[in-house]
Structure 1
Amino acid sequence: MSRAGEDSNRRMLRARDAMDRSYGEPLDVAALARIAHVSPAHFSRTFRATFGETPNSYLRRRRVERAMFLLRSTDRSVTDVCLAVGFSSLGTFSRVFTEIVGEPPSAYRRRGPLAPVPSCFGMRWLRPSEKTAVPEKPADGGGP
């Protein structure tokens, strides 16, 4: 891999790490592009080429993964979980959660508490599969 390719990958990893760390905060493509030190359009193209999904899709999936854990391991309300993982609307959260997981948050919670397993197995087991994910709608230029 060329030096430029390595630099590009490092920049994309820096932005993805910021999404993993700060998924509960408002993040948009422009802010993530600033972290990667590139333009928003270049960031979106390069992120998709590097990771196989758009920044918005990755962030939505990351937020839903965290919500899945919180719904089954805490007594927090669905609204509390929605806000904790970075969604500002319960309706949007429920729609996105259902698209990715295949069932609404309240139905997912009724499955009961998570079994005590090592976190690496739990994270892999809980990760929504690509088969269940609904293709992302074209972005309107706004945040997730």
Structure 2
Amino acid sequence: MGTRTAAEQRLRDLALLRRVRDRIDREHASPLDVEALAAGVGMSAGHLSRQFKAAYGESPYSYLMTRRVERAMALLRRGDLSVTEVCFAVGSSSLGTFSTRFTELVGLSPSEYRRRARTDRAAELPSCVTKRVTRPIRNREAVPSEPV
């Protein structure tokens, strides 16, 4: 059978990376870490992190936090949970880390986002449109909002 060519190995790695990304999308509220994700596809944590970042432009941890923030945004717009409840519902174990990451991605604190969502007209849009329009910006690109 022989050894794989570089192209075959790259395709195999991309398939494994898609499995990792799909797992993060599916299990974002579960306790996940890079070591567990890597073990699930038979890679070392370092190799997974490097390959994931090369393929998707961010680390597995950053991708996981983005998924959690997206879900948190939806829960905060719904308005029936406190920020703390939302933090734990999306799988974060630290309110401080959650709030910091949320603010980096969205440009507003979770509390401020929730307050604005209550009065914002975007809340009246269909959820599929709201999700698309309010998708968090990755890689700390959010511009802090102007005070109201």
Scaled to the shorter chain, the TM-score interval is: 0.7 to 0.9
Q: Which residue of 2 aligns with 1:125?
A: 133
Q: Give me the TM-score of the superposition, normalised by structure 1.
A: 0.84
Letter matched to residue 136 of structure 2: P
Query: Which SS does the other structure have where 1:71 is aligned?
Result: helix
Gaps of 5+ in 2: 1-5, 144-148
Structure 2 Cα separation of the partners of residues 91 and 101 of structure 1:
15
Runs (4+) off by over 4 Å: none
Gaps of 5+ in 1: 134-144
Shift of 1:118: 5.4
Q: Give me the TM-score of the superposition, normalised by structure 2.
A: 0.82
- CA separation of 1:79/1:118 partners in 2, compared to 1, >3 Å: closer, same or farther? closer
- CA separation of 1:7/1:106 partners in 2, compared to 1, >3 Å: closer, same or farther? same
Structure 1 Cα separation of the partners of residues 18 and 25 of structure 2:
10
Q: Which residue of 2 aligns with 1:112?
A: 117
Shift of 1:129: 2.2
Aligned length: 132
Task: Spell out, residue by residue over 1:36-78, the C-alpha distance to the aligned partner (whole angstroms, 9 max, x if none).
Answer: 2211111010000010101111111111111011000141111
Letter matched to residue 38 of structure 1: M
Question: Residue 30 of structure 2 contacts residue 91 of structure 2 at CA under 8 Å; is this kept in 1?
Answer: yes
Structure 1 Cα separation of the partners of residues 66 and 85 of structure 2:
18
Query: Which SS does the other structure have where 2:124 is aligned?
Result: coil
